[in-house]
Amino acid sequence: MENHIDENEKTSSVFSEAELEYIAPRSHKTGPSLLSRLGNRLRCSGQMAKSLLFKFIPILYWLPRYPFKEWLLGDIISGLSVGIIQLPQGLAYALLAGVPPVFGLYSSFYPVFIYSIFGTSRHISAGTFAVISVMVGSVTESLVPNDTLVVTTNESLSDTGGERVAVAASLTFLVGIFQILLGLVQFGFVVTYLSEPLIRGYTTAAAIHVTVSQIKSIFGVSITQRSHALSLIYTIVEICSKLPQTNIASLITGLIAIGVLFIVKYLNEKYYSKIRIPIPMELITLIVATGISYGVNLNETYGVDIVGTIPVGMKAPVLPRSDLFPKVVGNAFAIAVVVYAFTISLAKMFAAKHGYTVDNNQELIALGLSNFVGGFFSCFTIGTAMSRSLVQESTGGNSQVAGVVSCLVILVIILKAGELFETLPKAILAAVVVVNLKGIFKQFLDIPMLWRTNRIDLLVWLVTFAATILLNLDIGLGVSVAFSIITIIFRTQLPHYSVLGQVSNTDIYRDVARYAQAKEIPGIKIFQSSCTLYFANADLYANAVKSMSGLEVDKLIAMKKKAMKKQKQMEEKNEKLKKKENGLKHRARDQSEKEKEQNSIALKIPAVIEKEIVVDYEVIEEAKQGFLGNGNIFHSLILDLSTVNFLDTVSVKILKNIFRDFTEIDVTVYIAGCHAMVLEQLEKANFFSKTITKGQFFSSIKDAVTHILNTQSLTPEQRNEIFASTKL
Amino acid sequence: MENHIDENEKTSSVFSEAELEYIAPRSHKTGPSLLSRLGNRLRCSGQMAKSLLFKFIPILYWLPRYPFKEWLLGDIISGLSVGIIQLPQGLAYALLAGVPPVFGLYSSFYPVFIYSIFGTSRHISAGTFAVISVMVGSVTESLVPNDTLVVTTNESLSDTGGERVAVAASLTFLVGIFQILLGLVQFGFVVTYLSEPLIRGYTTAAAIHVTVSQIKSIFGVSITQRSHALSLIYTIVEICSKLPQTNIASLITGLIAIGVLFIVKYLNEKYYSKIRIPIPMELITLIVATGISYGVNLNETYGVDIVGTIPVGMKAPVLPRSDLFPKVVGNAFAIAVVVYAFTISLAKMFAAKHGYTVDNNQELIALGLSNFVGGFFSCFTIGTAMSRSLVQESTGGNSQVAGVVSCLVILVIILKAGELFETLPKAILAAVVVVNLKGIFKQFLDIPMLWRTNRIDLLVWLVTFAATILLNLDIGLGVSVAFSIITIIFRTQLPHYSVLGQVSNTDIYRDVARYAQAKEIPGIKIFQSSCTLYFANADLYANAVKSMSGLEVDKLIAMKKKAMKKQKQMEEKNEKLKKKENGLKHRARDQSEKEKEQNSIALKIPAVIEKEIVVDYEVIEEAKQGFLGNGNIFHSLILDLSTVNFLDTVSVKILKNIFRDFTEIDVTVYIAGCHAMVLEQLEKANFFSKTITKGQFFSSIKDAVTHILNTQSLTPEQRNEIFASTKL
């Protein structure tokens, strides 16, 4: 007994290390430090090249260390389950992509196999994916609107039809190239622009596109292909107008299939904990429907559209048609990013759950190689389907071996059993597609959730949804990304400005308008903006400071300017009078009897001037009190810049103006909580001068307040002297 | 003597109030509070309507209070000086706008007069402006490429030519409409998107467009009109290829005029303080050149292009042609915004200098009405020229009366003296244009200045310049605005992440990598990002926290998961063994001789399990020490969120993940400096739970550190209990 445990322990210990190693070298995020450490370890044995090889071809690393005993059974069961799902999904999504069903089988084989070799996620199921397929479909259908030919034999592919297949393959090839390039230049981060609300709004809209495109198969009507803006609306209108031509047999087939699939899906989810391996109802439906269709001859008797000839055997690789590249390059880039966004979010989810890491850039390269190779074998673009990945994980899949097993299932179908499905009604495939969208449609629940939690993200969701519905999947995506970037501007364009007060007996300062406990400190105004300061809100900031200070700063400055002007005039007059006086004195030397009189004038003038000036400055002080009320006069203004992330030239200028204006009306301005980076930018921008010194900068509001209270009794001039002599 | 002073004092006192009042009612910025106060004051006397009237028609307010004695002389001198400059500029800029010169005179009269009535700035000189004229010119010339007809009589305007005039008038009308609308809905803030570096880069590029368009007049060659992208390049190439056809007389005329104007401009600036009123060299040049041209008959003798017939007298107003509106609407919006941007920045500069305020929205309405009315009188769009405004201010202009006076000067020219300028060579006008651009070309000095102060703003400058040069003034402006918005994303996309340490014996925390005095507190990691957190940098933030913590968090979590899995397996085995043991015991009741042996097994098993678990957790602790070195192990992580302005759903999720991951490896996470708004967003987003409580939030790093040091001796569980019981 004891022995057995120890043995087990040993095996798993060995693997434990292996497994951890297997995670580590591909963890790009921790990047240089890890690599350099790895390097140090490996350089001695000259195995640097080997570690690079392991990084780019992960299978070389993990396969020799694969714990057959522990994982193989799970992987095989999981692989079979996934393979059985790949078959109907492959056939169905091929219709979404606008190509004959057999290409869905190819797409479920070649690229999936390649992904198993290069991928770093152990639980995602690469393969056909509804959203991507419909994106491909929008390209094939817009470039080849009338490719209604159903391929009948292998040979006819090249000459009679397959134009759409060529488009899809060229597109897939380019998607692969883009992904490989993005991976090599380590640009995986582009995906961060596809924020979660955007992705969810986008997929919800895509699901509606998919559903509408399948309705025609279920109703058995034929619809004009459209790819312009608002095409979804036109298509819905056309479907409604063609409802009288519904093929009843097709509709019944479709509805029954949807009903059955839906119920079994529900049961599978409900009793998942008991049965572990889900009932492969899609496959059963396919087989039963094909059988009935063959028996009753649905196609000829009732005009039900069927899948048609499925060629048996492999196809030789064909070079993607380079003449199509310019037409699909834009879409290829969009699809490349979307595929990656879905894959990486799913991969990260599983990695977090199972405690391993995936390498962002290696994932890009793996997907890229899959699609690149797929492009040679007439595949359409693959991604990762969430539902299938969940099956792969929950049925016990532990590694990419499950993917390889699922490929073998598809290979057998391609080589031997494909033709069995020739009489399968297309309505069944449409049903498979629609039922698989259930999870995506649940995303409509995001709307109330986001309404409660974050309305700007809700706006992103809704705009993305609307743009994708109305402008289709390509332009809609571009518009959505642009919009979600602009929301960052929204969020900083209208900040919340507040005057802070001290929460009694603490060092905490809070908005006085919202916290009753926060009280303003007499003589000090503390001002805070909720957002960073830059050109688009700098003006607002200055105005808010002025208006929330309660002073009509501009008016006070105008009064002061007026007073100064008057002072100057008076001085000039004084000067004139003095000259006159001097002249008089000069004359008076001889006229001593007038001397006394002149003196009295000379004495009088300065008195007049002084009175003049005093009166005017008093007016300003009075005006200040008028604005604020007697008790609220303040002599210090603290600007809390802790929310400021960076400063541009416009905001530096605005800050300078605030210093200038408030200094003009004898209010000293202090800065609190300015971050080191921002301080550096201020230095570079020549912000500091004789009148604005670093002595006015404090690391926290508390420090600034303490300083102000200590120097309160000083005059502004004395304070300025202190600043001039202080250095931070 | 005394009496005189008092009298003076009284007058100015009366005005002082009036003047301040005159500023106040139109000060929109201080908005509601001021209006309501005004309202309170006025409601009693039922003068609300009057105050509104004063707001929208400022002249009604200030003219009755105009201090004739003090200001009139200055305004008249200033108005004459400006009028004398308006004449040559009007004629010259009309060529830029692609219309016959006389329309430059109209544009210097009607709109300027309207602005005087509605404007709130007292020192800017409304009228023709080079940048705006060339923007108008790009529209007229692209819509009417071959309108080479020179209007000869008033009547011929409507039938033989004037298509460009119609375009310019329609454009101007729409510009007016846009400005009035923007003013009425108080959307003056759109101008904040035109940041200063953008405006300066844009005008510099515009100046190059203007210069190139004038070169042909100076060389006397005719050039194909272009308005597509890169047209500037093509035009330069064409000019070079046509250099051999240069009209020598035209070139000499132009060069002499440029030389003379340049020298006099320089002298005017240098001796400004002595002469006060600049020498009207442009007018003198015009008169002399016209005289010479008439005397020598430059046009017929040397083929020098002249201005041609200038119709005398006023034109009846004409409705703008509505069929042209759709073609110019986009440009009209761009021009409306640009005009406003220039005007408001200039108006604010003068207002700050002279201590009064301008009303943003009233300025928009004033400009709008000027252009709206101009649209009926075949004017092209007007703005405010900086150089002319400086003349208006420096020659003693005090109010819009100067503008009215300058209008009268132009009116006299239109009515009486226009035809005198018919023989004026166009090369002279080109020289006037080019010399007036001197100030704008000085803006090239921004490049080294911005290089030193703010490189991202330099990038905005350069991109704006390049886009405007290559894509022309309309599309270039759009691209530039888009780019300057995107720079906000740049600035937050790659933040600076830092680990903070305490500056010894202070409450100041600074980046340990940059400040030698800052020392990390043992056991505590403090992490700060220089930027706000949102979808595009959330992932970077999480990775930076993990990598800068020095721990390989994911690896540790993987190890822990592994250990837990093993523990679970062991427990299961334990369970099985216990069951087995119970069975054995059951059997052993009768077989008492085996009892002892069984018991020994049962006792042995838990020991094995316990060892197992302990070993695995020890591995994690050892790994931690391996990552960090023995002394640097930390148990607390403080995230300083003071730079965070807002949170979206992505960043909330990332924060949650950071809490989850670090808690998993027994590191307690604290938040410091989180702003009230952000805290609210976290609450809304259901951030807080049993494991993340407000007890982990502190208003400053210092508070968090104090708390941690106080509770250091407690276990993580005890600490969590504290959090659960605390509320902020």
Handedness of CA A445, A448, A454, A459 (dihedral sign): positive
| ipTM for the whole complex | 0.71
- The answer, yes or no, to whether residue B677 has pLDDT greater than 60, is yes
Residues of chain B with pLDDT > 70, as a percent, come to 82
The answer to whether A287 touches A338, Cβ cutoff 8 Å, is no
- The answer, yes or no, to whether residue A8 has pLDDT greater than 50, is no
When pLDDT is averaged across residues A556-564 and rounded to a whole number, the result is 77
Give the per-residue pLDDT at B29.
41
Nearest alpha carbon to residue B89 among B112, B118, B120, B116? B112
User: How many CB pairs below 8 A link A and B?
Assistant: 255
How far is residue A667 from each of residues A551, A703, B344, measured CA to CA in Å?
Answer: 11, 18, 27
Least confident of A12-16, A496-500, A520-524, B656-660: A12-16
| Residue type at A565 in one-letter notation | K
Q: How far is A608 from chain B (nearest CA, A)?
A: 9
Least confident of A548-552, B29-33, B223-227, B660-664: B29-33
Instruction: Specify whether the backbone of B161 is left (phi greater than 0), alpha (psi in -120 to 50) or beta.
Output: beta
Locate the chain A residue with the closest alpha carbon to B561.
A355
Residue A591 pLDDT grade (very low, low, confident, very high; cuts 50, 70, 90): low
Least confident of A110-124, B11-25, B436-450, B548-562: B11-25
Give the per-residue pLDDT at B718.
64
Q: How far is B681 from chain A (nearest CA, A)?
A: 7
Distance in angstroms (rounded) separating the CA atoms of residues A289 and A428: 7
How far is residue A114 from each of residues A365, A404, B219, measured CA to CA in Å?
Answer: 11, 9, 67
Mutate to test the interface with B, among A580, A646, A651 (most CBs of B within 10 A): A646
Residues of chain A with pLDDT > 70, as a percent, come to 82
Distance in angstroms (rounded) separating the CA atoms of residues B154 and A458: 60
Q: What is the mean pLDDT of chain A?
A: 80
Residue A61 pLDDT grade (very low, low, confident, very high; cuts 50, 70, 90): confident
Give the per-residue pLDDT at B150.
44
Locate the chain B residue with the closest alpha carbon to A508.
B699
Question: Between B34 and A342, where is the model more confident?
Answer: A342
Give the per-residue pLDDT at B332.
92
Give the per-residue pLDDT at A15.
33
The answer to whether B446 touches B126, Cβ cutoff 8 Å, is no
Residue A630 pLDDT grade (very low, low, confident, very high; cuts 50, 70, 90): low
Q: How far is B608 from chain A (nearest CA, A)?
A: 9
- The answer, yes or no, to whether residue B611 has pLDDT greater than 80, is no
When pLDDT is averaged across residues B476-490 and rounded to a whole number, the result is 85
Compute the residue count for chain B.
Answer: 728
List of chain B residues whose C-beta atoms are within 8 Å of the C-beta of residue A566: 12
When pLDDT is averaged across residues A341-366 and rounded to a whole number, the result is 86
Give the per-residue pLDDT at A280.
80
When pLDDT is averaged across residues A311-326 and rounded to a whole number, the result is 86
How far is residue B424 from each of residues B87, B216, B246, B264, measured CA to CA in Å?
Answer: 13, 16, 19, 20
Give the per-residue pLDDT at B283.
83
Q: How far is B539 from chain A (nearest CA, A)?
A: 8
When pLDDT is averaged across residues B280-287 and rounded to a whole number, the result is 84
Question: Between B564 and B452, where is the model more confident?
Answer: B452
How far is residue B31 from each of residues A214, A525, B435, measured CA to CA in Å?
Answer: 57, 21, 42
Least confident of A356-365, B141-150, B460-469: B141-150
Instruction: State the residue for tokens 């603490």.
Output: A506
Give the per-residue pLDDT at B19.
38
Residue A160 pLDDT grade (very low, low, confident, very high; cuts 50, 70, 90): very low
The token pair at B279 is 């020498």
pLDDT tens for residues A666-685? 888 999 988 888 888 888 88
Query: How many beta carbons lie within 10 A of that of residue A430, not counting itself?
Result: 29
Residues of chain A with pLDDT > 90, as a percent, come to 16
Task: Give the per-residue SS3 of A190-232.
Answer: HHHHCCHHHHHHHHHHHHHHHHHHHHHHHHCCCCCCCCCCCHH
Residue B385 pLDDT grade (very low, low, confident, very high; cuts 50, 70, 90): confident
Give the per-residue pLDDT at A191.
77
Distance in angstroms (rounded) separating the CA atoms of residues A153 and A382: 25
When pLDDT is averaged across residues A332-351 and rounded to a whole number, the result is 88
DSSP A94: H
List of chain A residues whose C-beta atoms are within 8 Å of the C-beta of residue B33: 547
Is A246 in a helix, a strand, or coil?
coil
pLDDT tens for residues A114-131? 999 999 899 999 999 988
Give the per-residue pLDDT at A597.
55
> Helices (DSSP H) in B421-454: which residue ranges?
426-436, 438-441, 446-453
When pLDDT is averaged across residues A14-32 and rounded to a whole number, the result is 38
Cβ–Cβ below 8 Å for B560 and A355: yes
- The answer, yes or no, to whether residue B404 has pLDDT greater than 80, is yes
When pLDDT is averaged across residues B179-196 and rounded to a whole number, the result is 83
When pLDDT is averaged across residues B489-505 and rounded to a whole number, the result is 82
Give the per-residue pLDDT at A149.
46
How far is residue A250 from each of residues A148, A297, A425, B388, B552, measured CA to CA in Å?
Answer: 19, 12, 8, 79, 57
Residue A175 pLDDT grade (very low, low, confident, very high; cuts 50, 70, 90): very high
Residue B107 pLDDT grade (very low, low, confident, very high; cuts 50, 70, 90): very high
Cβ–Cβ below 8 Å for B486 and A485: yes
Least confident of A9-13, A136-140, B245-249, B707-711: A9-13
Residue B725 pLDDT grade (very low, low, confident, very high; cuts 50, 70, 90): low
Question: Between B97 and B585, where is the model more confident?
Answer: B97
The answer to whether B615 touches B624, Cβ cutoff 8 Å, is no
Q: How far is B534 from chain A (nearest CA, A)?
A: 8
DSSP B128: -
List of chain A residues whose C-beta atoms are within 8 Å of the C-beta of residue B700: 507-508, 700
| Greatest mean pLDDT among A14-28, A44-58, A618-632, B185-199 | B185-199
List of chain B residues whose C-beta atoms are within 8 Å of the C-beta of residue A9: 612
The token pair at A649 is 């030239």
Distance in angstroms (rounded) separating the CA atoms of residues A677 and A682: 9
Locate the chain A residue with the closest alpha carbon to B503.
A699
Least confident of A116-125, A309-318, B23-32, B392-401: B23-32
Cβ–Cβ below 8 Å for B453 and A685: yes
Residue A265 pLDDT grade (very low, low, confident, very high; cuts 50, 70, 90): confident
Residue B620 pLDDT grade (very low, low, confident, very high; cuts 50, 70, 90): low
Mutate to test the interface with A, among B597, B643, B705 (most CBs of A within 10 A): B643
- The answer, yes or no, to whether residue B202 has pLDDT greater than 60, is yes
- The answer, yes or no, to whether residue B154 has pLDDT greater than 70, is no
Residue A594 pLDDT grade (very low, low, confident, very high; cuts 50, 70, 90): low
